[in-house]
Amino acid sequence: MYNVREINKDTWWLGASDRRIQLFENTHPVPNGMSYNNFIIMDEKTCLLDGVDESVSRQFEENLAHVLNGRTLDYLVIDHMEPDHCAVIPDLVQRWPNLKLVGTPKTFDLIRQFHGFDPEPHAIKVKEGDTLSLGRHTLQFVLAPMVHWPEVMVTFDQLTGTLFSADAFGGFGAIGGAIFADEVDWERDWADEARRYYANIVGKYGPQVASLLKKVSKLDIKEIAPLHAHIWRRDFDQILSLYAKWAAYEPEDNSVVIYYGSIYGGTANAADILSVKLAEAGVHNVRVYDVSKTSVSELVSQAFRSPTLVFASATYNMGIFDGMRELLEDLAAHAMKNRTVGVIYNGSWAPQAGHLMLDAIQKMKGMEILDPHVHVTSVVDGSALEELDALAAAIVKKLGK
């Protein structure tokens, strides 16, 4: 049975959630599932804005049939040609042979690759600022290359002020009927998953996000409708101010995140001791993560939030312990920069983790590595304790406590 909601004049949400999915992109844990939004404008012409993932395609078909109510589908605007939004394109084209597909030139290359048919007879290729009239509604296209794929654009409805924002402003997690951010306690329940989504999916492309934010700031936006999670119709600053920070790799608070990779517990002990010293010195929100336990998806997200990152690792076969190596590689891959960093390393005979971590961190831009680099030999002893004291003092000084 159909399950739709009107979100604005002539405009309907046709999305659905997948609560069975375990890993989004087969890598990011989504314990609360995933939502896939898409929209339709019913004007003199009918226009669908993006498709959905295969997992919710049956629900989408019922929703579409209900809202179309026997009318023909005239346009499909493709803001983002990634499979989690485009699984339904071949079906739509088959069903409506005269359907026009609207996208950037790169969109059509990707359709050819993913779906193996020639989209040219259906293609309306748009560039920055082009418009499409549906009757009362005029759609304006704003290109957003590499947010986070090359073909991406966002679409602005000049009549309702709705910005269809593709993956930008999205989040992890299935949503229920409360599809608007003002219908939930967004800050309490959803901000963390919006951050984790941004950090992992879009986080590598801060400059491109900043450029998109600048372009859309000129539009008179009344509603922001992303392809995942909630639609915004007020308090835009809540999400926009976070995006401005994340895009600039600016931390959100004055906290410390301590990541440790430990086999037998010696390095974990050092991390915990440091956390107590920091909390005692008045640092708010000290968080400690075991990199073997917490998914790298969450670890990367925390690095976007916090200005101070401490990496603590045992040496493992002349290298950095597994989870820590993956975390450092992932942070570099997401272009993490401009953080204050502490290093704790451990080894029983050749403690290579120390200089290997320093090498990895120095490859990231604007990382200020504090002294001392704490050296633990098997377990924390008096000398390591003194170094932990000194590192805590350096962090506290840096945070201006």
Ligand X SMILES: Cc1cc2nc3c(=O)[nH]c(=O)nc-3n(C[C@H](O)[C@H](O)[C@H](O)COP(=O)(O)O)c2cc1C
- The entry of ligand X, Fe ion, none near residue 82 (CB within 5 to 8 angstroms by kind) is Fe ion
Residue with tokens 């590499």: 146
64: left (phi over 0), alpha (psi -120 to 50) or beta: alpha
Which 331-350 positions form the footprint of ligand X (CB under 6 A)? 346-350
Contact 139, 156 (CB under 8 A): yes
Q: Which stretch binds ligand X (CB under 6 A): 12-20, 59-67, 251-259, 316-324?
A: 316-324
Residue found by looking up tokens 């019913």 in the block: 42
Q: Which partner in ligand X, Fe ion, none is near 167 (CB below 5 to 8 A by kind)? A: Fe ion
d(CA 321, CA 317): 8
Q: b or e along 197-229 (b: 16 or more beta carbons within 10 Å of the residue's beta carbon)?
A: bbbbbbbbbbebbbbbbebbeeeebbbbbbbbb
CB of 390: closest distance to ligand X in angstroms? 20
Among 240, 248, 263, 335, binds ligand X (CB under 6 A): 263
Using CB under 5 A, which of 53, 79, 82, 387 touches Fe ion? 82
Q: Which residue has the tokens 């000398």?
A: 383
Of 84, 157, 193, 387, which lies in the binding site for Fe ion, with binding defined by CB under 5 A? 84
Residue position matching structure tokens 């309306």: 124
List the one residue from 167, 223, 330, 387 that touches Fe ion (CB under 5 A): 167
Q: Which is nearer to Fe ion, 82 or 223 (CB)?
A: 82
Instruction: Fill in the DSSP letter of residue 7.
Output: E
Residues within window 366-385 making contact with ligand X, judged by CB under 6 A? 378
DSSP bridge pairs for 34: 18, 173
Of 290 and 329, which has the nearer Cβ to ligand X? 290
Q: Torsions phi, psi of 395, nearest 5? A: -65, -45
Among Fe ion, ligand X, none, the one that 151 touches (CB under a kind-dependent 5 to 8 A) is none
Helical pair 206-216 and 236-247, crossing angle rounded to 10 deg: 140
What does the alpha-carbon distance between residue 387 and residue 393 come to, in Å, rounded to a whole number? 10
Residue 148 or 233 with smaller CB distance to Fe ion: 148
Whose Cβ is closer to ligand X: residue 113's or residue 317's?
317
Token pair belonging to 36: 């896939």
Q: Residue 161 class from Cβ within 10 Å (0-12 exposed, 13-18 middle, 19+ buried)? A: middle
Which CB sits closer to ligand X, 251 or 323? 323
53 lies in the site for Fe ion, by CB under 5 A: no
Least distance CB 288 / ligand X (angstroms): 13
- Minimum separation from the CB atom of position 347 to ligand X (A): 3
The nearest distance, CB 387 to ligand X, in angstroms, is 15
Contact between 85 and 51 (Cβ < 8 Å): yes
CB of 258 to ligand X, least distance (A): 13
**Toward ligand X, which CB reaches closer, 1 or 350?**
350
Minimum separation from the CB atom of position 314 to ligand X (A) = 3
Chain residues in the site for ligand X (CB under 6 A): 262-268, 314-318, 346-352, 378
